[in-house]
Amino acid sequence: MKFFNTPIIKAIDAYTIENEPVASIDLMERAARALTTAILERYAGRGFAVFAGPGNNGGDGLAVARMLHNAGCSVEVWLVNPKGKLSADCAVNLERLLGIGVPVIQVADSFAMPSISNGAVIIDALFGSGLDRPVVNGLFADVIRGIDAVDNDVVAIDMPSGLLGADNDPSLQLIVLATLTLTLQFPKLSQLFAENDMFVGELKILDIALSQRAIAETPSPFEYTCKEDILPLAKPRAKHAHKGVFGRALLVAGSRGMAGASVLAARSALRSGVGLLTVHVPACNNSIVQVAVPEAMTSIDNNENCFSDFIETERYTAVAVGPGIGQSEECEAALLNLIDTCKAPMVLDADALNILARNPKYMQRLPHGSIITPHIGEFARLFGATDSSYVRLQAAQVYAMTFGVTIVLKGAYTVVVTQLGTMHFNSTGNPGMATGGCGDVLTGCILSLLAQGFAAPDAARLAVYVHGLAGDIAAKEKGETALVAGDVVDCLPRAWRLLEEGK
């Protein structure tokens, strides 16, 4: 799903109005119906307190209030309008609401939070995605403070009021703490950042049928990767294919006490379809890997404890290095030598990234089509600490383009940043996957797809999606608290089968 910076969304709205054609007020009515349906699915039988602003987001809120009233719900409405001016569509919806007998309390000068029953749901319709400056004081700040001071569930329409579409500093601005954000047509960039999770709450995207032509013809570097984006990549296997067709992968992983990283990554690679897998292990881990992953071959390092050897890589179609290898001097020298001599695309993760951070000139020496998979801490060690997710994302885009690599920036919405500057936010996965070893599983999955001949951006996008999907399947069976990385590996076959079946 392509998505856009918030100013561009306004242009797509305008194109839809002009070319569908549909009146602006009717497009608002369409949005309000989608919002009301989603609200009633979650909160049927509850009362509602709507806080609306003077713009089109407020118009959405007033239209939703009318529809909730018509559905038999108890609705109270406050219209916050310090300047005494309403957008045209907001004014129409105010008139419609008053016309069916729903009183609206106008707030113009000062605000004290009214008493709202414990079971009532607050609907935040003060500001939408068009807000272009932070809320720090004034009447709207008082309303936001009032909403945030109560314990009621809060549904934000399109955006939690006060949250800007891209860069924010939550320590310097006031933002509604939503329980559920119902965003219209597309996710908004800031909704996908970790520091804004406390404001966004659960995120649900509602289709309001904006012009598909405008969406298709409007360029954007952003994608929210959904099933529809991934299915074209999950191609069926040819009837007469053999194991050589599906690549030869080398995995360099593990050290003394870290054999599990080798096992998890190897099992993941095999469960993601690689034809032949060799795992390079220190001598102490050979028997463990041979028993735990009998389908894999092993290459045994001369060092008993860690990766230290020169490895011939000519026969491999992809190489992954990093999970559990440690950061000893011998390991560091071996890794740098591997980077200098390897011609196949590489996946670098975990300890390999920490070694790379100490040797930054080697970023320029990575083979064409390589992928690095840092979490936020590893990214900071590689490229420097950043003040916000937005700044980090911009930095990742610059570095991916500069070094010609794909960066998999891991987190709740793992972002695949390509050397062309595109940024793909993943839609699968859950907090249960925040456990040791899940990154090793992802590395194995990416390695497998690279070895099979997928281009780096496609390998990363597909692997991240399937890894998260397997985690979601595992969470349904095990729950999030008890989830371990091995559960994700065990659920990879079902995740792949869903894609094979187009589900």
Whether pLDDT at 225 is above 90: yes
Same structural domain, 83 and 193: yes
227 in a domain, yes or no? no
CA–CA distance, 336 with 320 (Å, rounded to integer): 13
pLDDT tens digits for range 406-455: 999 999 999 999 999 999 999 999 999 999 999 999 999 999 999 999 99
Q: Specify if 101 maps to a domain.
A: yes
Three-state SS sequence of 230-280: HHHHCCCCCCCCCHHHHCEEEEECCCCCCHHHHHHHHHHHHHCCCCEEEEE
**CA triple 341-345-346, angle to 5 deg:** 80
Domain count, the chain: 2
pLDDT of 170 higher than 90: no
Residue 77 β-bridge partners: 50, 104
In this prediction, residue 503 carries a pLDDT of: 83
Closest alpha carbon to 176 in 144, 146, 208, 202: 144
pLDDT > 90: percent of the chain:
98
Confidence (pLDDT) at 235? 85
Q: Do both 32 and 112 map to the same domain? A: yes
Q: What is the mean pLDDT of residues 466-489?
A: 98
- At a CB cut-off of 8 Å and minimum separation 6, what does 398 contact? none
- Is 159 within the bounds of a domain? yes
Q: Is 421 inside a domain boundary? A: no
Residue 225 domain flag: no
Residue 280's DSSP bridge partners are 252, 299
pLDDT at 240: 93
Q: Is residue 214 part of a domain?
A: yes
pLDDT for position 388: 93
Per the domain annotation, does 490 fall within a domain?
no
Cα distances from 457 to residues 4, 249, 362, 423, 438, in angstroms, run 20, 18, 21, 10, 20
For 257-314, write each residue's pLDDT tens digit.
999 999 999 999 999 999 999 999 999 999 999 999 999 999 999 999 999 999 999 9
Residues 202 and 299 in one domain: no
Q: What is the CATH number of the domain that holds 215?
A: 3.40.50.10260
Same domain assignment for residues 291 and 351: yes
79 and 192 inside one domain? yes
Same domain, 103 and 204: yes
Do residues 106 and 150 share a domain?
yes
Q: Which two tokens stand for residue 371?
A: 């992928």
The pLDDT of residue 171: 87
**If you search the block for the tokens 């230290």, which residue do you land on?**
308
Q: Which CATH number goes with the domain that contains 275?
A: 3.40.1190.20
Range of the domain at 115: 9-219
- Among 184, 219, 254, residue at a domain's last position: 219
| Shared domain check, 244 and 195 | no
Residue 480 lies in a domain: no
Averaged pLDDT for residues 356-376: 98
Identify the three-state secondary structure at position 124.
strand
Buried b (16+ CB within 10 A) or exposed e, 59-83: bbbbbbbbbbbeeebebbbbbbbee
